[in-house]
Amino acid sequence: MNFFLMFLTTFLIQLIIATEMNIIAPLAPFLSQYFNIKDSSVIMFNIGFSLVGLLVPILGVFADKYGKKKSLMVALIFFIGGTLVSGLAKNPILFALGRIFVGIGYFSLSGTNLSYLSEFVPYESRGKASGILRTAFGIAILFSPLYATNMINKYGVLESVYLPLTTIGVICLLLLFKLPETKKSKNVRLDINELLTMLRNPINYKSLMIIFFILAAPTLLLSFLGIYISNYFNLNQVEIGYLYTIVAFGTTLGIIFAALFTDKIGKEKLSRVLFTFVLVSLIPIVFSKSIRVIVGFLTLVTVGLDGGWTAYQTLCTEINPEKRGTFMSLFYTVNAITVTIYSILGPVFYNIGGYKLLVIISIITTSMALKILFSMSIEKNLISKNNPSKF
C-alpha cells in the first residue's frame, strides 16, 4: 500500500479546501467592486456555503455506506465544479451558486479525509495522520490571504485565484483512482429520532449552545475586517492580505498551544481559560481606532479562540463516546447553522453600528458562552457516568 500517495492526496485536498474557505474575507473589498454590490453584503456569499453544512449527517452516512474513497471522489467533483463556476462567474448570483457546490465539497471532504486515513493507519499512528492534515490547514490559514490578494493584485480576475485550486482538485481526483477503497457498511442509516433524543440531554444542548455563541467573534469580526480597514484606513488589497496573515499567526499559535497543553491542563479547564482570554482581548478593540492595536488584539483573539476551540472540540468528542459520530455530526451541523445566521445578521449589524458594534456583539456572545461553560462541569459529568462511586 502506497502510504506516501495516500498522505499526499489527503494533504492536498485539505490544503485546497481550507484555502478556498479563507479567501473570501480578505477579498471582500475586491468582490464588492468586482460584482458591484454593497461591501457589507459580501459576507452573504458564505450563506449558501454554510447552509450545505446541514447535510453533514447525510454525507457521513454516504461515506460509511458506499465507501470513503467514493465519498471523497464525489465531493471533489462538487468542489472542482464549484471552483470553476466561482472562478468564471461574472455576476454575484453565479458566484454564490459556485460557492454552494464548493461548500458541499468542503463539508464532505473535511469530514471524510481523516476518516479515510483512519481506515488504513494503525490507531497508535493516527495522531501523526491528524497532524499532517492539521499542518495543511495551518499552511492554508497562513498563506491563503497572501495568495489570493497577490493573484488579484497581479491579474485582477477571479480566475487567477480559483483555477489553480481547480487544477489541484483534478490532480487529487486522479490520484484517488490509485488508492484503495474502504469497507462499506450497507446497513448504516440516518436516525433523526436518535438526533432529537440526544438534543434533549442538558449537557448535549448546552455544549452545542456554546458553539453558537463562541463563533460570533470569528464570523463577524474576521469577515468584516477587510471591508473595515479598506474603508477607514485606505489599505490596498495586498496590504489587507498581509494583515489577515498576521491575524492567522494567532490561529497557528493557538492550535500549537492546545496541542502541547490540552492533556496537561485539561480539556475543559483549557477551554475556559482560552475562551476567557478571547473575551479579555476583545474589550480593548472597542476603544481603539489604531489599526495596529486592532490587528494586534485580533491576533490575540485568534490565539484564544483556536486554542480554546481545539481543546473544546476534543472535549466534546467524549461527551457521547458510544455515539460519538452522531453527536459530532450535530456539532458540525450547529457550526454550519451558526455561520449561516451570523452571515445573514452581520450586514445588518455592520450597517447599523459599524465594526464597533460587531465587537460589542462578540463580547456579549462570548460572555454568554463562558457563562454556560462555567455553569456546568462536562468532565465531572463524564467521570461520574464512568465511575459513579467517586461522586
Confidence of residue 216 (pLDDT cuts 50, 70, 90): very high
Share of the chain above pLDDT 70, in %: 92
Residue 5 clears pLDDT 60, i.e. is over it = yes
Mean pLDDT for the stretch of residues 34-47 = 88
> What tens digit of pLDDT does each residue of 233-270 get?
988 889 999 999 999 999 889 888 887 888 788 889 99
Q: What is the per-residue pLDDT across 152-191, written as a single tens digit (0 to 9) for each?
A: 999 999 999 999 999 999 999 999 999 998 877 777 676 7
100 or 113: whose pLDDT is higher? 100
Taking only Cα atoms into account, the Rg of the chain, rounded to an integer number of angstroms, comes to 21
Q: What value does the mean pLDDT take over residues 374-378?
A: 86
Percent of the chain surpassing pLDDT 90: 53
Report the pLDDT value the prediction gives residue 390, as an integer from 0 to 100.
Answer: 41
Range with the lowest mean pLDDT among 115-119, 269-273, 345-349?
A: 115-119
- What is the model's pLDDT at position 200? 86
Specify the higher pLDDT residue, 262 or 30.
Answer: 30
Which residue carries 464588492 as its cell?
32
- Each residue of 275-327: pLDDT tens digit? 999 999 999 999 998 999 999 999 999 999 988 988 888 788 778 776 666 67
Residue 387 has pLDDT above 70, yes or no: no
Q: Which residues contact 126 (CB under 8 A, 6 or more apart)?
A: 117, 118
Tell me if 359 sits within 8 A of 285, measured CB to CB: yes
Largest Cα–Cα separation, the chain: 67
Give the torsion sign (CA, 141, 145, 146, 152): positive
Residue 79's alpha-carbon distances to 134, 182, 236, in angstroms, are 20, 21, 29
Rounded Cα distance, 299 and 294, in Å? 9
**Set of cell numbers at residue 82:** 464549484
More reliable by pLDDT, 263 or 359: 359
Looking at residue 105, its amino acid is G
Whole-number Å distance between alpha carbons of 213 and 301: 15
Return d(Cα 150, Cα 159) in angstroms, integer. 13
Position 58 confidence tier, pLDDT thresholds 50, 70, 90? confident
* Joined grid coordinates for residue 302: 485568534
- pLDDT single digits (tens) 124-149: 566 567 667 778 888 898 899 999 99
Indicate if the pLDDT at residue 389 is higher than 50: no
Written as one string, the DSSP assignment of 80-94 is HHHHHHHHH--SHHH
Which pLDDT belongs to residue 263?
78
Q: If you average pLDDT over residues 94-113, what whole number do you get?
A: 89
When pLDDT is cut at 50, 70 and 90, the band that residue 378 belongs to is confident
Sign of CA dihedral 2, 178, 110, 151: positive
Amino acid at 309: W
Report the C-alpha gap between 305 and 316 in whole angstroms: 16
Q: What is the mean pLDDT of the chain?
A: 87
Decide if 341 contacts 223 (C-beta within 8 A): no
Q: Quick one: 288 exposed, middle or buried, by C-beta within 10 A (0-12, 13-18, 19+)?
A: middle
CA–CA separation, 223 and 26 (whole Å):
8
Sequence-separated (6 or more) residues with CB below 8 Å from residue 260: none
The pLDDT of 209-220, averaged and rounded, is 94
